[in-house]
Structure 1
């Protein structure tokens, strides 16, 4: 029984690996489940045994890479953290480091930002994207609220607007770098840019 479970897990990982590779090469809409099954060396039936459709497979591929980063942000204790802005920047710099230096993370972000169309069968991907973005923005806003309560952020600032702007800065840095990685050093630009943003809140 244990071997059967191990085989099933190995097949699932092979499908996710194949999907990641093909999505990066062809784009999501131009890659079929049959293409993924063939690349993974399994039948189309094996794909449906693990995933209901391409949206579920795509979301599983994304989660495999992005969940650790989302968990890092969510680990900030917005009730007790003594230096919430320091922790917030550290968590975002961890994301930037992974994108800049980890091939899998870079590939997945490339797919998510440049290789997917939110149409027809892929509309569920847009929903996941919005849910993840909304969750991250909520945690950022909660971190800002903690910082404001500690006197680290001016009391007159609108925390929701700050969170929206902060996420726009982070997403913009990543997206523009993915378009042309020669334009700037992602880690260095994020380090300087986030410092400027956060220092302006005090």
Structure 2
């Protein structure tokens, strides 16, 4: 019985491994279960034994990885220490490099962002991504606030804006590297990229609360002129 369960699990993982490669090559919508079965060297019946349909197969494939956003959230929880900005810098660099150096993560993210059409079947995945994104912004705000208290960032930093900006920059670099890894090599460039982001937070007047308030005042003045 134990060997039977192990063999069944091995077959399931074999199918999921094949799905990663076939979805990446053909796109999710254009891929058939017969093509996945052929790549996995199993029968279509074996696929239906483990998965209800292609949507279930896709969801199970995504569930095998921790999304970079989720990894980031888990790591940045421990940012409240003597060097919060240094810790955040290390987490940012590690998150970029992990996406580049972990083959499974890279393949699945590539399928999600470049080979997956948004349909009703994508609902669970999108909810997972959005939930992680909301949690990440909350964690970033805490980390940035800690860095401000330690004097590592300007005391007038607009934390709400800075956390949103940092998350957008991070997600954008990940997406661009998936689209064309020759433009951005995450393993090579991660440290330089993160230092650029942190320099923006340290030195850009546009990241300060006063700058935002001034813009609002000017806009209000112009609207009444």
TM-score exceeds 0.5: yes
User: How many angstroms does 1:28 deviate by?
Assistant: 1.1
C-alpha change, 1:82 and 1:103, in structure 2 (3 Å) is same
| SS of residue paired to 2:76 | coil
Query: Matched residues in 1 for 2:43 and 2:167: separation?
Result: 41
Tell me the equivalent position of 2:66. 66
| SS of residue paired to 1:182 | coil
Tell me the equivalent position of 1:15. 15
| SS of residue paired to 1:116 | coil
Tell me the equivalent position of 1:145. 145
Query: Is structure 2 residue 116 aligned with structure 1 residue 125?
Result: no
Query: Matched residues in 2 for 1:188 and 1:40: separation?
Result: 33
Query: Matched residues in 1 for 2:105 and 2:175: separation?
Result: 14
* Further displaced range: 112-121 or 27-36: 27-36
Tell me the equivalent position of 1:181. 181
Pairing 1:49-128 to 2, within 5 Å after superposition = 49-67=49-67, 70-71=70-71, 73-78=73-78, 80-128=80-128
The answer (yes or no) to whether the contact 1:28–1:117 under 8 Å persists in 2 is yes
The answer (yes or no) to whether the contact 1:78–1:146 under 8 Å persists in 2 is no
User: How many angstroms does 1:196 deviate by?
Assistant: 2.3
Q: TM-score normalized by structure 2?
A: 0.74
5+ residue gaps, structure 2: 203-225
Q: Deviations over 1:55-79 (max 9, x none)?
A: 4432332342335873464133447
* Further displaced range: 50-59 or 164-173: 50-59
| SS of residue paired to 1:201 | helix
Q: TM-score normalized by structure 1?
A: 0.81
Query: Matched residues in 2 for 1:7 and 1:70: separation?
Result: 30
RMSD: 2.8
User: How many angstroms does 1:188 deviate by?
Assistant: 4.1
Query: Matched residues in 2 for 1:22 and 1:193: separation?
Result: 32
| SS of residue paired to 1:12 | helix
The answer (yes or no) to whether the contact 1:55–1:124 under 8 Å persists in 2 is no
C-alpha change, 1:110 and 1:191, in structure 2 (3 Å) is same
Query: Is structure 2 residue 40 aligned with structure 1 residue 40?
Result: yes
C-alpha change, 1:142 and 1:35, in structure 2 (3 Å) is farther
User: How many angstroms does 1:133 deviate by?
Assistant: 2.8
User: How many angstroms does 1:11 deviate by?
Assistant: 1.8
User: How many angstroms does 1:168 deviate by?
Assistant: 1.2
| SS of residue paired to 1:66 | coil
5+ residue gaps, structure 1: none
Tell me the equivalent position of 1:30. 30
| SS of residue paired to 2:31 | coil
